Amino acid sequence: MGDELLLPDYGGACITNVMPALLEPPEDPPSWLPSAARADQVVLLVLDGLGWEQLQERAHLAPTLCSMEGGPILTVAPSTTSTALTSIVTGLPPGEHGVIGYRMSMEGEVLNVLRWSVAGRDAREAIPPEKVQSIEPFLGHRPAVVTRAEFRQTGFTQAHLDGTRFCGYRMPSTLVAETTRLLRAGEPFVYAYYDGVDKVAHEYGLGEQYDAELIAVEEVVSYLLELMPKDASLVITADHGQVEVGGNLVTLHDDVMAHVSHQSGEGRFRWLHARPGRAPALLEAARAHHATTGWVVSREQMLDEHWFGPTTVDAARSRLGDVALVARDPVAYVDPDDTGPFELVGRHGSLTPAEMRVPLLARRA
């Protein structure tokens, strides 16, 4: 896959800057923002898991998407849904909003942010979502949010969409219907979210099932553009791209695990939390055994290089591990406690171009 590591461009073409540019546009718009994104009515559609590289490789399957104005921008670190969606809606880097991964270390326990659970148990009372992430989404505006109806009461929704006007949908067709209904009612801005691409990539990888899902998304986008009021703008972005990993799983070496108290993060951005006093030894052992497949980086180096933004608040710092294994090759680092309902074939989280580059596209209806 090459040795290129892409750090987020928090001061420029990054998902953190999309919401401010749309909701409170400056007099001099940034060069990376498509001109078609400037309209009296705007829909921001986030297509979870649709990376720029994967889209370009399949341009023939998505002619509407690929003919839209715009290009690639960068996501955040780690390139994962919980972190990136929170950055999109708050307009802030992870170091400021504090959702620094899919699985976060919280006072000795590991919180699964998307399920809002600890050791499989509902953690909404023990770890209140509004205390983990208290920054208002959408810069204090209260737009309509069109997302899956079953997400309404989840802890992650409370953490990153608290106070918004929730409009649930059940199927992609009703995403279109709800969005266009809101536009006809005069809404100036609608936030819509669709997770199908990510789900398919995780379960099936980047083969024919992924292609079929992209074709389905192309139909949704075309239908939405057809039904939107004249001169309304559809803006499309994503939270991360994908890498096909399959069974390329790396079990951490015993010499490394001897220094580890617990793990957090995810397979392609695995946080290792050191036993007391063992952080230097952990870093040395991890570099000795796992530098051939990934970047082995200390917490201090990441903070010095501003991986999580120019500022990392104390709450976010407390959730970081001592050492991160950041996959360079198409592999995932195994944590026995990080399991789900099926084996993940497609993954993300690291800082490779395939995961970091996402589209920012726009078209007037």
Continuous segment of H or E residues that includes residue 265: strand 260-266
Q: Same domain for 59 and 19?
A: yes
> How many other C-beta atoms are found inside a 10 Å radius of the C-beta of residue 276?
6
Task: Please give the pLDDT value at position 341.
Answer: 79
Task: Please give the pLDDT value at position 340.
Answer: 80
Q: Read off the CATH number of the domain in which 335 is found.
A: 3.30.1360.180
Task: Please give the pLDDT value at position 88.
Answer: 98
Q: Same domain for 235 and 263?
A: no
Q: Which residue matches tokens 């750090």? A: 7
Inside any domain, residue 282: yes
Residue 125 burial (10 A CB sphere; 0-12, 13-18, 19+): exposed
Inside any domain, residue 8: no
CA distance 338 to 240: 20
Task: Please give the pLDDT value at position 1.
Answer: 44
Inside any domain, residue 10: no
> How many other C-beta atoms are found inside a 10 Å radius of the C-beta of residue 86?
29
Inside any domain, residue 165: yes
Domains identified in the chain, total number: 2
Q: Same domain for 358 and 306?
A: no
Task: Please give the pLDDT value at position 35.
Answer: 96
Q: Same domain for 42 and 144?
A: yes
Torsion sign (Cα): 254, 340, 316, 302: positive
Q: Same domain for 269 and 240?
A: no
| Residue ranges of the chain with per-residue pLDDT less than 70 | 1-2
**pTM, whole model, 2 decimals?**
0.97
Q: Same domain for 303 and 193?
A: no
Q: Same domain for 166 and 23?
A: yes
List the domain range (segments joined by +) for residue 281.
249-346
> How many other C-beta atoms are found inside a 10 Å radius of the C-beta of residue 174?
16
Q: Same domain for 268 and 212?
A: no
Q: Same domain for 159 and 87?
A: yes
Task: Give the residue from 331, 328, 326 showing the smallest Cα distance to 248.
Answer: 331
Task: Give the residue from 365, 38, 33 showing the smallest Cα distance to 232.
Answer: 365
